[in-house]
Amino acid sequence: MRSTLGDGYVDALRKVYKGTVPESADFVMFWWQKAAEIVQAEKAERFGFITTNSIKQPFNRRVIQAFFDSKKPLNLDYAIPDHPWIDSADGAQVRIAVTVASLDSAVGRVDKVFKEIPAEGEWKVSFTEKIGTVNPDLTVGADLTSTVSLNANSNLSSVGMGLYGTGFLITLDEAKKLGRGEIEGMESVIKPYLNGRDFTQTSRGLFVIDLFGYTEEQARTKFPQVYQHVLNNVKPERDQNNRASYRKNWWYFGEARATFRPSLKSLDRYIITTVIRQVYYYNPNCKTQSLFIFR
């Protein structure tokens, strides 16, 4: 938005819609908000938009949800959650969504694409149809967007630690040079390291420096060699991080999981899984996302 519209326009727009449209929302959602307000005021019967298909995601969906939950709720009469589209300006192939809303009956229709055939400058598309109340995520049926977390599931799982600094990782030789196996207490801060690929393929035999629980001064005084290594290899990278807490607590992992660690103390076994993630821009093949577990 800023590169296309300029800082002044974007700042003014967000100021006007502050409290109604999240700053993370796509530009089209400001128009969706404005149209919904007009229909809710009964100055128009309905409206429809072609939007990005990310309208179903939480940062955009909050705009729709607010009108569903209002005293004078809107309903979605028609929706296509995901549809191929060819941009007429440059011919780029993108994905869009369609939404039509009004104050009328809560019964709507969702057309879901099940077959699409590219043609010259267009797509030939076939749909399956569902009739019923259309939810904010453009589905018909159980409203999964209204679900809440079960208290019974609390503290049963964790995504593990996130380092946010490659300098925390060291080899066995480096671990020995820093005093692991020789200096008392060093095993508590230099620990074996495994990520998803180490589990599913061959372990690289790496170790990780974990200074969680120590202040900067305590780490420097008790483990000076380790502190110096982190100072040289982690701090320069963390100084460039946009998040203030990562810069301030640079000797800690970016996500140290303080609430997760106590859960491991009474356990002698647990389940470890890896997460498969599609990397769209750099590699079309599935890769294993890192998962950090310490025993």
> How do residues 196-239 score in pLDDT, each as one tens digit?
888 888 889 999 999 999 999 999 999 999 999 999 999 999 99
CA distances from 101 to 73, 126, 259 (A): 10, 23, 43
pLDDT of residue 292: 41
Q: How far is CA 238 from the centre of its chain?
A: 21
Residue from 281, 280, 279 nearest 290 by CA: 279
Portion of the chain with pLDDT greater than 70, in percent: 91
In terms of phi and psi (left: phi > 0; alpha: psi -120 to 50; beta: otherwise), the region of 89 is alpha
Ranking 126-140, 222-236, 246-260, 268-282 by mean pLDDT, the lowest is 268-282
Task: Say what the pLDDT of residue 274 is.
Answer: 79
- Rounded-to-integer distance, Cα 30 and Cα 55, Å: 12
* pLDDT tens column, 34-75: 999 999 999 999 999 999 899 998 889 999 999 999 899 999
> Which H or E run contains 216?
helix 216-222
Helix (H, G, I), strand (E, B) or coil at 123: strand
> Percent of the chain having pLDDT more than 90?
53
CB neighbour list of residue 186: distance below 8 Å, 6 or more residues apart = 178, 179, 180, 223, 226
Of 250 and 154, more confident: 250
* Dist. CA 4–CA 26, nearest whole Å: 13
Q: Can you read off the two tokens belonging to residue 104?
A: 């009328």
Q: What angle do helix axes 58-68 and 28-40 make, rounded to 10 degrees?
A: 0
C-alpha to C-alpha distance for 164 and 255, rounded to whole angstroms: 8
């589905």: which residue's tokens?
A: 139
The DSSP 8-state label assigned to residue 64 in this structure reads H
Quickly state the pLDDT bin for 99 (edges 50, 70, 90).
Answer: very high
Per-residue burial over 68-95, b = 16 or more CB atoms within 10 Å of its CB, e = otherwise: beeeeebbbbbbbbebbbbeeeeeeeee
Report whether pLDDT(276) > 60: no
Cα–Cα distance between 91 and 75 in angstroms, integer? Answer: 33
pLDDT at 97 over 90: yes
Global pTM value: 0.53
